[in-house]
Amino acid sequence: MYPIAPPLLGWFYANRRTLPFREDPTPYHIWVSEIMLQQTRMTAVLPYYERFMKALPDIPALAACPTETLHKLWEGLGYYSRVNNLQKAAQVVCEKFGGELPGDYETLLTLPGIGPYTAGAIASISFGLPCPAVDGNVLRVFSRLYCDEGDITDPEVKKRCTERVMAHQPPDSPGDFNQALMEFGALVCTPRSPDCAHCPLREICEGAAAGCAEELPKKAPKKERKTQKVTVAVVRGPLGVLLEKRPEKGLLAGLWQPYMKEEDCTEAEMLTSLATLGIRCRKTGDLKPARHLFTHIEWQLSGWMLETDDAPDLPENMTWAKETDGDMYTLPSAFGAYRTLILP
Ligand code: SF4
C-alpha cells in the first residue's frame, strides 16, 4: 500500500486538538491520560485529568495517596480497577524504578494495568520508541484502509493489523504517528459516518473504494449481559445514612454503597436482615427502579427508603455517614439514581 504516514501526519499537524497531556507528554501524563481514556470519552476525561494532576502531580504522590482520596478523584469515571491498578503500578515504580516509569516497552508491560496499548503509547509518545499502540480506533482505521473483513476480536487479525501499523510507522516519529492514528480515528474515520469526503487517506483507502468502509470493522457479537436483581435500603438514622464498604476484591472493590443485597429481596427480608445488626426500621418510601450496566452484567436496582431510631455499633465495614461527609465516601455511579437520597 502507498505510505500513509505523510498524508496522515500532515493532517495531524494541521488538525490536532490541544490537549493538556499532549502539550507536556511526560510518561506520567501519557500514562494517566491513556488509562482515563479507556472506556471514557475525551470531553469527559479532561476535567478529571486536570484535577488529578493538580492533586497528584507525580508518581510518588500517586503511590502515597490515601485510597479514599484516590477514589474521590476518580468518582464518576467508573471502572475503579483502573485507578486501583494505577496506584499499584505507581508503588512498584517507586520501589523498583526510583519513581520514574521505565523507558522500555517490555518492562512497562510488567506493571499492573499496563497492557500492550498503554505500554506502546507511553513508549512511543514519551520515549520516542518504535512501538505500536493499537486500540479499537486503530483497528477500525486499518480494517477500512485494507478492506480487511477479519474479526478484530481475533488475535490473529489484531496481529496482522499491528504488523501493518509498524510497516507504516516512520522510525523518526513513532509517537506522532501513533497519536495521529488515534486522533484520525476519533475525528475523521469515526465508527459511524466516517468523513470519507474530507479524508486525507481517501485516495488510498481500499474500504472506501470498495464502498464498504462503514461496515468495517467486523466484530463477533458481544455475549449478552447477565442481569442481576439488586435490592437497596437507604437507611437514615440518628447518626446519618448507613453505608457499607464493598470487599477489596471483585466488582466495585473497596467502594462504599448503601445497605443492599445482590438479590431480589422482599421488604420483610430486608427489615429482618437489618434487625440482625440491631437496626429496626420503618419504611418511608420506595426507591424508583433503576439499572446500571457493567461490562458483563446489568444490575436492576430497586428498594426502599427506611428510617430508624437505632444507632448500634456497626461491623468494621459499615458506617453512619453524615450529610457533610460527601467528600469522604466514594459512591459508584451504579447508585447514581439514589445518590441525592444517600449523600445529598
Ligand atoms: Fe476512513 Fe473513509 Fe478515510 Fe477510508 S476514506 S480511512 S473509511 S475516513
- The per-residue pLDDT for 240 is 93
Each residue of 290-303: pLDDT tens digit? 999 998 899 999 99
Distance CA 83, CA 179 (A): 23
Rounded (5°) CA angle 276-280-282: 135
- pTM equals 0.82
Report how far ligand 1's centroid is from the alpha carbon of 207 (Å). 7
Report how far ligand 1's centroid is from the alpha carbon of 202 (Å). 6
- The per-residue pLDDT for 167 is 96
Q: Which residue matches cell numbers 420503618?
A: 282
Cell of 199: 479524508
- Which of 8, 145, 149 has most ligand 1 atoms within 8 Å of its beta carbon, as the pocket-test mutant? 145
Q: Which of 23, 34, 203, 244 is catalytic?
A: 34
Distance CA 224, CA 298 (A): 10
Rounded to whole angstroms, what are the CA distances from 19 to 53, 106, 196, 317? Answer: 13, 27, 25, 40
Report how far ligand 1's centroid is from the alpha carbon of 31 (Å). 28
Report how far ligand 1's centroid is from the alpha carbon of 204 (Å). 9
34 is catalytic: yes
* Nearest atom within ligand 1 for CA of residue 202: 5
- The per-residue pLDDT for 1 is 64
User: Residues with beta carbon inside 6 Å of ligand 1?
Assistant: 141, 144-145, 188-189, 194-196, 199, 201-202, 205, 207-208, 213
- The per-residue pLDDT for 325 is 76
Report how far ligand 1's centroid is from the alpha carbon of 172 (Å). 25
Cell of 284: 418511608
Cell of 37: 481514556
- The per-residue pLDDT for 56 is 98
* Nearest atom within ligand 1 for CA of residue 213: 7
The tens-digit pLDDT sequence of the chain (344 residues) is: 678 999 999 999 999 999 999 999 999 999 999 999 998 899 999 999 999 999 999 999 999 999 989 999 998 888 888 999 999 999 999 999 999 999 999 999 999 999 999 999 999 999 999 999 999 999 999 999 999 999 999 999 999 999 999 999 999 999 999 999 999 999 999 999 999 999 999 999 999 999 999 999 999 888 889 999 999 999 999 999 999 999 988 889 889 999 999 999 999 999 999 999 999 999 999 999 999 999 889 999 999 999 999 999 999 999 999 888 777 888 898 999 999 999 87
Each residue of 180-237: pLDDT tens digit? 999 999 999 999 999 999 999 999 999 999 999 999 999 988 888 999 999 999 999 9
- Which of 161, 165, 196, 204 has most ligand 1 atoms within 8 Å of its beta carbon, as the pocket-test mutant? 196
> 297: part of which helix (H) or strand (E)?
strand 297-308
In degrees and rounded to multiples of 5, residue 326 shows phi and psi of: -50, -35
Query: DSSP secondary structure string, 160-185?
Result: HHHHHHHHH--TT-HHHHHHHHHHHH
Task: Read off the amino acid at residue 139.
Answer: L
